[in-house]
Structure 1
Amino acid sequence: MPHSTQTKIAKGAIWMILFRLIERGLGLISTLILARLLMPEDFGVVAMAMSFIAMAELLSAFNFDTAIIQNQSATHDHYNSAWTCSLLLGLCITLLMIALAVPIATFYRRPELTWVVVALAFGPLFTGAQNIGVVAFLKELNFRREFKFQVFRKLISFSVVVPLAFLLRSYWALVVGILVSKLGGTLISYLMHPYRPRLDFSKARELLFFSRWLLINNVAGFLKERGADFFVGRMTGATSLGTYNIAYELANLPTTEIGAPINRALLPGFARMSSQVAVSDAYSNAVGILALVTLPIAASIHALAPYLVPLMLGNKWLGAVPLMQLLAFNGVLVLLHSSICAVLIGRGFPARAMYANLVYTVMLLLLLAGIFLHDRSVGVIGAAYAALLTSLLSTPIYLHQLHRCLGLHPLLFVKIAARPVVASACLILMVQWITPSYYVGMSFASILIWFVAGSIVALCTYLVAILLMWHVAGRPAGAEQILRQRMIKEWSQRFKLRTSSNQV
């Protein structure tokens, strides 16, 4: 792979991580404010409506932008055809969801859902009308402009939903926030890129042919993340669903917000690589770094969740604690799965990614059905166990697809993750030994002090454990060495810059 492409991928990953930090920072602030103002039931009502709307979107989501990114010779006809198909599909989804609003409300036994579904049904139409020209930001590895586009869209949503939450104190604040985010993103897309699409079906068949696997992959990916919503919402109600959704979001927040932008940068980069060996080396290093960073984050969430939830959300959300402890590790496995899919799609194997996600989906739905049909009283904790168990059992399927397409042996990933796994286990044991058990009635100051103390203990324990094992192993090449060299290089550059500025 040319050095310039490697550099662009590295810079792209940094830009995408920066965007996700800003986006999720705003999202986290928004979630914390909304969680204080609204009830778990409010989040559950919106999740019920969005579960069907998001499924309808993905049933028609052919990922035309991915097809254009993967096709290095895409023309204006490809862009126009992609925009035309997206617009028409968005319109069809809007009309379909309006027609199904009453049946959806009946399914969940919540009459108030009817108008929520009708309102949210316009979201797919807004998204379908988005300027297809912004895909060029990723295709051309222009991540700086992609960063600006995504940040502006998030700022619009944040500036609307938080004031509305104070004003309305109901789930309608969430509904309006979602719609404004989608409409704002579409308007900004035309301001950010000069391309003006027009109706054109000349390349529709070609795009649909490539994207047919991505369609199935998207449906499987949706059920992978949101399949539990249908069971939890139907069997246990809006309050439990709202608790599960917040726990899922917070538990996955650190790992997905590190991994998702890297995957977003890797996909167009891998599409440009010409050497299979370069892909294997680059991906092995990326997974090593992800394991080194995300595993201790998941372990910290597991250990500190009893303090994290009351500190951030309040005691009315304490039901999210055991869910977060399970879903944190599920998030690490799902991140590994998504990175594998990004590589497979980028290298032109979308069917392999689809197959792995499809197996995961079938396994998850069977486990959820079995758990809830056997004993409905298990509630949301059963859904969390089902998600974690499915991620564990399906991981060999993803690794097999990677081995088949890129030649990476599954044992390589065991070797990569060994030291981070052991160090993370030490982290959990040390934090649980140091911190006392949380109890209702503990003062806010005590919660904050023990959370901060636990976080410091977690960081120090992990760093000492991982560095000790690395030195004992003979300081082998891998993620630890890459991060160490990168940090030394950064410090060296900063020192030289300070020295030169002082001399001037």
Structure 2
Amino acid sequence: MTSGTRMARNAGLMMLAQLLTWAMAFLVAIFQPRILGPLAVGQLAIAFSIWLIVGVVISFGMDTHLTKEIARNPQRTSSLVGTSLILRVIIWLVSCFAVWGYEQLSFGADPVQSALIWTISLATLFAALSSAIMAALVGLEQMPFVSLMTVLNKIVLTVLSLALLFAGFNVIWISFASIMAALVGFIGGAFILFRQYPLRLRFDFPTARDMLFASRKYLITALTVMFYQQISYLFIAWLASTDAVGWYSTATKLYGTLMFFPVAIGTVVFPSLIRSHAAGQDHLSYAARRIFNLMLTMSLPVGLGLTTFADPIVRLLYGDAFVQTGTVLAVLGIVLTFTYLNTIIGQLMLAAERTYALNLIMIVAAFATMPLNFILVTWSDTTLANGALGGALALMITEASILLAMIYQLPKGTLGADNLRVCGLSLFAALVMVLAIWWLRSTSFFFLGVPLGAIIYLVAILRLRVLPPEDLELAKEVFTKIRARLQGAKS
């Protein structure tokens, strides 16, 4: 197998793994809230939010460093991985004291919340150890094994979670599924790696010092992104209620299942964006304008369609206990359009070597989201008895601001007047779609709005000639590549 063929197959395997994990996450997102209820879902979400933020500190950006160093010097695999594993255990132990202090201040004598926090702490430890193994396998170009363990982890999590849910176990027992999934991922990855490179579990102080020093820049980026993603949960828990966290968590999980498309498209087009940048600004601008138009015309009908049918979808899936989630999901439909565009603009910034500016934007957004959450969660909880809505509104403002900031930081002339024309016409077509299907949202046949809306939107953008022929050709090319990669991964 040639190097190019192997790379294409590896990319296909990773995409297939992502598709399968998103599909399984969707299954859990459907059944877990309905069976557990908003309070238990909120308690679980709070525990995960705490440890997702702390988990980034535990990994300390070492994954990227491990991948790079092992790719350069495979013979150092055993010593590098062994040192990293010991470091992660030490940082985890120190982090437990910090989390214990936060738990005492924030949740007091809530035994269920306390049990969940410490259950998820073990899952976080095993996940951090597993990520070190996976980083080493990536550095050794063992992508089929990485994809296999990613899917296996998600299968274990999904099957155990659903089995415990349907068997009637409470949320504490269901949280043990996360421990088992992370443990399976760690043991499986370790078995694969250490058969080739026997583990040397010896703490090498110079190696550890150099590793932490080299990894600190990756830590800042990862911690900023994770803090930005998770801080709303903690603000809602603090300023509103645990039930509101459950409403917000349920909406964000449904929203997250729709993120496969921009990630898949970004993965496919990123190499071509890098080549376009290397060929000169004119080539980058041409490629950027086409992919921006494609993502824009895709995101608007998905986002506004979700906004239109958010309430009936939530009532159908989760019942009246989650009625407030419908409003949150409707706002997240608008957010989804910004997020789709942010995904591809972020790829553009990386291709144009604007990494520093991208990191700065995310740092500012992470800090800005705190006062926004404080104001909006407090307002929405006091005025509308739905603190979760404040978290969604804060996310909408920050995602829109990130989009504007990233466009501003692109090389001058990257996007042009044609993109404004496509934006205006696409928005008009999407609004026509919404007006045509709005009446269905109050009927039992609201699900017919999806195919009807898609047909109306497609006819509108074709009649308005929103996309020039070369952009339509790009759309065909991108989806052909995605299909080819998925088929290549299966073969």
- Same fold by TM-score greater than 0.5: yes
Instruction: Indicate whether 1:450 and 2:453 are aligned.
Output: no
Aligned residues: 471
What RMSD, in angstroms, separates the aligned Cα atoms of the two structures?
Answer: 3.7
**Structure 1 match to 2:473:** 481
- CA distance in 1: counterparts of 2:330 and 2:225, whole angstroms: 22
**Residue 385 (str. 1) matches residue 378 (str. 2):** no
In structure 1, the residue matched to 2:48 is 50
Unaligned runs of 5+ in 1: 439-445, 492-504
Residue identity opposite 2:367 in structure 1: V
CA gap of 1:390–1:11, structure 2 versus 1, over 3 A, is: same
> Structure 1 residues 185, 10: CA separation in 2 closer, same or farther (over 3 Å shift)?
same
Question: Partners of 2:23 and 2:162 in 1: how far apart?
Answer: 14
* Aligned with residue 34 of structure 2, among 33, 36, 56: 36
Task: Report the Cα distance in structure 2 between the residues aligned to 1:412 and 1:202, rounded to whole angstroms.
Answer: 55
Match in the other structure for 1:305:
310
Q: 1:98 and 1:363, CA in 2 relative to 1: closer, same or farther beyond 3 A? A: closer
Partner of residue 128, structure 2: 128
CA distance in 2, matches of 1:49, 1:162: 19
Partner of 1:460: 455
The whole-number CA distance in structure 2 between the counterparts of 1:342 and 1:141 is 23
Q: What is the aligned partner in structure 2 of residue 400 from structure 1?
A: 408
Question: Per-residue CA shift, 1:25-82, capped at 9, x if unaligned?
Answer: 1121122222221111001111122222222122344333334556796223765436
Separation (CA, whole Å) in 2 of partners of 1:353 and 1:262: 20
Q: Take 1:279 and 1:77, find their aligned partners in 2: how far apart are those partners?
A: 39
Flag the 1:57–1:211 CA change in 2: closer, same or farther, 3 A. Answer: same
Gaps of 5+ in 2: 484-491
In structure 1, the residue matched to 2:261 is 258
Q: Is the 8 A contact 1:127 1:186 kept in 2?
A: yes
Rounded to whole Å, the distance in 1 between the matches of 2:418 and 2:142 is 33
Write out aligned runs for 1:154-169 (5 A).
Answer: 154-169=154-169
TM norm structure 1: 0.80
With 93-102 and 316-325 compared, the bigger mean Cα shift is at 93-102
Query: 1:498 is matched with which residue?
Result: none
Q: After TM superposition, give the deviation of residue 189 of structure 1 in Å.
A: 1.4
In the TM superposition, what is the alpha-carbon distance from 1:320 to its structure 2 partner? 0.7
CA contact (8 A) 1:60 1:215 kept: no
Distance in 2, Cα, partners of 1:56 & 1:485? 41
Asked if 1:275 corresponds to 2:298, the answer is no
By how many angstroms is 1:323 displaced?
0.5
Residue aligning to 2:464: 469
What is the CA deviation profile of residues 411-451 of structure 1, one whole-angstrom value per residue up to 9, with x for unaligned ones?
6754664554333222222211x41526xxxxxxx2xx321
Tell me: CA distance 1:394–1:14, structure 2 relative to 1, closer, same or farther (3 Å): same
Which residue does the alignment assign to 2:239? 235
Distance 2:442 2:83 in 1: 57
Distance 2:292 2:9 in 1: 17
Moved more, 152-161 or 27-36: 27-36
Q: Are the structure 2 counterparts of residues 337 and 268 from structure 1 closer, same or farther at C-alpha, using a change threshold of 3 Å?
A: same
C-alpha deviation, 1:377, in angstroms: 0.8
**Aligned partner of 1:431 among 422, 426, 437:** 437
- Structure 1 SS opposite 2:165: helix
Higher relative contact order (CA 8 A, sep 6+): 2
Residues 359 and 394 in structure 1, CA contact (< 8 A), matched pair in contact too: no
The separation in 2 between residues aligned to 1:72 and 1:272, in whole angstroms, is 26
Further displaced range: 412-421 or 236-245: 412-421
Q: Does the Cα contact within 8 Å between 2:239 and 2:374 map onto a contact in 1?
A: no
Structure 2 contact 306–329 (Cα < 8 Å) conserved? yes
Alignment of 1:136-285 (within 5 A): 138=138, 144-193=144-193, 194-198=196-200, 199=202, 200=204, 204=208, 207-254=211-258, 256-263=259-266, 275=278, 277=280, 285=290
Distance in 1, Cα, partners of 2:105 & 2:143 = 44
Shift of the 117–95 alpha-carbon distance from structure 1 to 2, 3 Å rule, reads farther
Give the Cα–Cα distance (whole angstroms) in 2 for the partners of residues 107 and 65 of structure 1.
31
Aligned partner of residue 122 in structure 1, secondary structure: helix
Greater alpha carbon shift after TM alignment, 309-318 vs 454-463: 309-318
Task: Check the 8 A contact 1:138/1:268 in 2, yes or no.
Answer: no
Moved more, 342-351 or 21-30: 342-351
Q: Deviations over 1:78-132 (max 9, x none)?
A: 6543663354234422452256336415403552222222222122321232274
Supply the distance in 2 between the matched residues of 1:141 and 1:374 (Cα, whole angstroms).
50
User: Which one is further off, 371-380 or 173-182?
Assistant: 371-380
TM-score, structure 2 length as denominator?
0.82
Q: String of CA shifts for 1:118-175, please: whole Å, max 9, x gaps.
A: 2221223212322745336655777554432311111111121111123343211441
Q: Secondary structure at the match of 1:100?
A: helix
What aligned pairs does 1:39-118 form with structure 2 within 5 A after superposition? 39-67=37-65, 74-76=72-74, 79=77, 80-81=79-80, 84-85=83-84, 87-97=86-96, 100-101=99-100, 103-109=102-108, 111-112=110-111, 113-118=113-118
Structure 1 stretch 177-186 or stretch 99-108: which is displaced more?
99-108
Q: How far does the alpha carbon of each residue in 1:445-501 deviate from its partner, in whole angstroms, 9 at most, with x for none? A: x2xx321x111211111211222233x76x3422x222245779999xxxxxxxxxx
Which of 341, 353, 356 is 1:351 aligned to?
356
Instruction: Give the CA deviation at 1:263.
Output: 4.7
Q: 1:118 to 1:436 in 2, by over 3 A?
A: closer
Q: Which moved more, 1:163-172 or 1:78-87?
A: 78-87
Letter in 1 for 2:461: I
Moved more, 461-470 or 75-84: 75-84
1:104/1:114 contact within 8 Å kept: yes
- Distance, in Å, in 1 between the alignment partners of 2:70 and 2:351 is 12
Residue 330 of structure 1: how far off its partner (Å): 1.3
Report the Cα distance in structure 1 between the residues aligned to 2:86 and 2:219, rounded to whole angstroms.
Answer: 16
Work out whether residues 61 and 215 of structure 2, in 8 Å CA contact, stay in contact via their aligned partners in 1: yes
Moved more, 360-369 or 89-98: 89-98
Counterparts in 2 of 1:210 and 1:396: CA distance versus 1, 3 Å: farther
Distance 1:316 1:296 in 2: 28
Secondary structure of residue in 2 paired with 1:228: helix
C-alpha separation in 2, matches of 1:422 and 1:462: 10
Q: Over residues 180-233 of structure 1, what are the superposed CA-to-partner deviations in whole Å (9 max), with x where a residue is unaligned?
A: 221121122124444445445655555545543332222221222111111111
